Amino acid sequence: MQSLFRSILIFCFAPTAIVFEAIAQEEKSAPVLLIKRTEVPIKIDGILNEEAWLEADSTQSFHQQFPYDSSLAQVKTVVRATYDDHFIYFAAKLYTENPEKYVVPSLRRDFFGGGIDLFAIILDSFQDKTNAFTFGTNPAGVQREGLVSSGGVGGNDGPPVDFTWDNKWYNEVGVTQDAWIYEIAIPFKSVRYKAGTTQWNVNFYRQDTQGNERSLWARVPRIFPAFALNYCGILQFDAPLKKAGPNISVIPYLATKTSENFENNTKESLRLTYGTDAKIAVTSALNLDITVNPDFSNTDVDEQQTNLNRFELFFPERRQFFLENKDLFADFGGERSRPFFSRRIGLALDTSTGQYVQNDIRFGARLSGNLNKNWRIGLLNMQADDVPNLSIPSYNFGVATAQRRIGAYSNIRAIFVNREDFGNSSDYNRVAGLDYNYNLRNNKYRGNLFFHQQFAPEFQGKDFDADAYSAGASFNYNSETWFGGTSLTSIGANYAPVVGYTPREGFDRVGGYFGYQIYPKIESINRISIGTFGNVTWDAIWGKSDRENGGWFELGFLNSSELSLRINNSYTFLFDPYDPSETDGPELAQASDYTYTQYEIYYSGDQRRKMTYRIGAKTGQYYNGNLSGVNGNVGYRWQPYGVFSIDFDVNQVRLPEGFNDADILVIGPKVDLTLTKNVFWTSVIQYNSQFDNMNLYSRFQWRFKPVSDLFIVYTDNYLYDYRNTEGNFNIKNRSLVIKLTYWLNL
């Protein structure tokens, strides 16, 4: 069956995709902003009194994207641009009725979310409509920068913008009686571009809370994210750009840490560690990242998740070294099959806590970027230390990727992944594959095709096995009113890439969804959406193993609140014994099957208010019993100094006599304070009853210079069972890290 399914994917869908590519692209005239070189020094002070600003070309009217996208913006925004040998400058005047009345939840960098006043620049410096940089700020002058990938509409590895990326740039905000004034200087060294170019793609995005409006310079339909790169305008330079010049940054660190494992009665005395990262611009578009003895102790802690299925959960990458051009490595395959998952490097799963723990990386290097407008490459090599207590040897990780642009928005990609223990020639695991990603008529038709083959020595004495493959195809359609899609996935019985991610091996899956939405111009309601979905999974041994179908109804309100109703009918065939309570109790029998229906409702409130919330509830059948639960987030904004919030997920599993019931609680109160734009303190307590684990994570950060920080990070893990009143709250491990990083330009 899987061989037949694989043949269908390769020989049927590939020609179809080629036909799609032949469809003429829908090109619309893009707005143009002329940018002239200045010889006059620009002082970044939020006051536009330099002659260069008076002579600079300015944008025309912005286009509204929310609540509607068929009219010009109600609030006026004017943007100008100029440049010199070292910087590209932007000046934006954002008119508003009351500049002193704004929404800025905190002074933390890299802010995101709705209900926030902001202005952002989107720079597609290669005009490949695939990747871009974004630089944004708010009325308090807080910076955020991010990397836009997958055309700005999202990919396999998460949302379209990653705001965890950091780089150097400068800004100031001024205030007049009727406007905010943003003045921004971005070093040419902080972005990648081809020397000699005369054009970049660009867009400008404004989120105005007073007017409850989102708007952009180049119109982006509301059915797509604001960062959709297909809809950018043109930044036209008056002369070809020169090479940015030598661009070498060294980021050394010093750290002292101590830790104690109370379960194993081991203690690590206070010791000094050091290492360095380096960023070297091989060309103005190709970057070499080098790391020696990296330390990721200051990386944000993973959010705890409830696991009520039989398969591994997915946690996104947060470490700086892996972020730039992340899509070149991570965005292969589909949602259920990725040949490379960077979280496998330098992090190992501690099964006692359900959290990933650090295993040291000795050194690593990564070369990534654009060769030209049509070609991108990525090379990665890292050597990790062994972890004796988790039985992990010292592995070398290598990845090579290449991407070729096809047409206006599509591309074909190749990847090779290798994990190998050089001390044991028979311990290796490799994957090679091809992906074709198509995007036609400005995101109206999108999808992909992929085929990956695994190689390993355990395949009956040879490194190739015809059943160690992953293949898939997807097609998605999106219009103003109708939308839908379908996907096919085939995972071979022996496909288990150790540096990749797949929830299980040996299955075929077909799924799809279909929906209809309208945007009625009536009081309070902005959007109505209704639709249905379904999928079925089967394997060669047991036949049909899973089925899911249902529908949804959604209301989006003009005040940014949302209501969602959902019904889900599921069929599950157990190919292994399974305890639905996840308590290591009595298990349901192998080869038994179950059909059950669940109902869900979600409501999120007005994001512009100081008190925000998202509440969900579910109830219904669950295997041979019942499941009910509530989940959500409640937060309070102490503007502009911080946010107090709490995430929670409470589930009650009730099974028949002879099986265990379960009350599963995941809760995480969080305090995020920003005393100034350079001093931050975050503390979160997370409790997960599935692992009887309570985790305390507290991080102090002082950014004493651009991209140079002092971190103090304290963590505690406790064995805690809220159902047990005796012998409880025993400490498992504790650590303290003090880390100093400094960004040095050579």
Q: Do 535 and 653 belong to one domain?
A: yes
pLDDT of residue 23: 46
Residue 166 lies in a domain: yes
Would you say residue 322 has pLDDT above 50? yes
pLDDT single digits (tens) 173-188: 999 999 999 999 999 9
Q: Do 518 and 490 belong to one domain?
A: no
pLDDT of residue 352: 56
Pull the structure tokens for residue 253: 């660190």
Residue 113 lies in a domain: yes
pLDDT single digits (tens) 452-504: 999 988 765 566 788 899 999 999 999 989 999 999 999 998 898 988 988 88
321 φ, ψ (degrees, to nearest 5): -60, -30
Would you say residue 512 has pLDDT above 60? yes
Mean pLDDT of all residues in 615-620: 96
Distance CA 308, CA 662 (A): 11
Residue 232 lies in a domain: yes
Which of 461, 494, 527 is a domain's end point?
A: 494
Would you say residue 382 has pLDDT above 80? yes
Distance CA 310, CA 540 (A): 19
Confidence bin at 408 (pLDDT 50/70/90): confident
> What is the DSSP annotation of 252-297?
EEEEEEEEEETTTTEEEEEEEEEEEEEEEESSSSEEEEEEES---T
Q: Do 233 and 321 belong to one domain?
A: no
pLDDT single digits (tens) 93-106: 999 988 888 888 88
Would you say residue 681 has pLDDT above 70? yes
pLDDT of residue 305: 57
Give, for 562, the enclosing helix (H) or strand (E). Answer: strand 562-573
Nearest to 321 by CA among 301, 351, 295: 295
Range in 246-260, 680-694, 724-738 the model is least confident about:
724-738
3-state secondary structure of 619: strand
Q: Do 64 and 183 belong to one domain?
A: yes
pLDDT of residue 169: 94
Confidence bin at 371 (pLDDT 50/70/90): confident
For 254, 255, 574, 588, the CA distances from 582, given in Å and listed in that order, are 42, 39, 15, 12
pLDDT of residue 19: 46
| pTM for the model | 0.83
Would you say residue 505 has pLDDT above 50? yes
Would you say residue 316 has pLDDT above 80? no
Residue 744 or 322, more confident: 744
pLDDT of residue 155: 60
Contacts of 267 (CB under 8 A, 6+ apart): 258, 259, 260, 261
Q: Do 484 and 601 belong to one domain?
A: no
Residue 725 lies in a domain: no
225 φ, ψ (degrees, to nearest 5): -65, 155
Asked whether 554 and 109 are in contact (CB, 8 A), the reply is no
Which of 459, 494, 529 is a domain's end point?
A: 494
Would you say residue 679 has pLDDT above 90? yes
pLDDT of residue 312: 59
pLDDT of residue 115: 80
pLDDT single digits (tens) 541-581: 777 788 999 999 999 999 889 999 999 999 998 888 888 88
pLDDT of residue 707: 83
Q: What spatial distance separates the first Cα and last Cα of the chain, rounded to whole Å?
A: 59
Q: Do 74 and 140 belong to one domain?
A: yes
Mean pLDDT of all residues in 636-660: 92
Mean pLDDT of all residues in 144-170: 81
Q: Which amino acid is at 141?
A: G
Would you say residue 246 has pLDDT above 90? no
Q: Do 490 and 523 belong to one domain?
A: no
Print the domain residue range for 526: 507-671
Q: Do 463 and 433 belong to one domain?
A: yes
Residue 124 lies in a domain: yes
Residue 145: CATH number of its domain:
2.60.40.1190
pLDDT of residue 453: 95
pLDDT of residue 26: 46
Range in 342-356, 572-586, 623-637, 731-745 the model is least confident about:
342-356
Which of 671, 702, 730 is a domain's end point?
A: 671
Residue 65 lies in a domain: yes
Of all residues in the chain, the percent with pLDDT exceeding 90 is: 53
pLDDT single digits (tens) 104-138: 888 888 887 778 899 999 999 988 888 899 999 99
pLDDT of residue 353: 52
Q: Do 520 and 486 belong to one domain?
A: no
Rg of the chain in Å (alpha carbons): 26
Residue 110 lies in a domain: yes
SS (H, E, C) 454-490: EEEEEECCEEEEEEEEEEEEEEEEECCCEEEEEEEEE
pLDDT of residue 11: 46
Mean pLDDT of all residues in 421-437: 90
Would you say residue 46 has pLDDT above 80? yes
Nearest to 497 by CA among 473, 465, 449, 545: 465
Q: Do 191 and 59 belong to one domain?
A: yes
Mean pLDDT of all residues in 521-535: 92
Half-sphere exposure of 338 (CA within 13 A, CB side): 22
Asked whether 715 and 697 are in contact (CB, 8 A), the reply is yes
Residue 566 lies in a domain: yes
pLDDT of residue 324: 75
Quote the number of domains for the chain. Answer: 3
Q: Do 461 and 533 belong to one domain?
A: no
Q: Do 486 and 442 belong to one domain?
A: yes
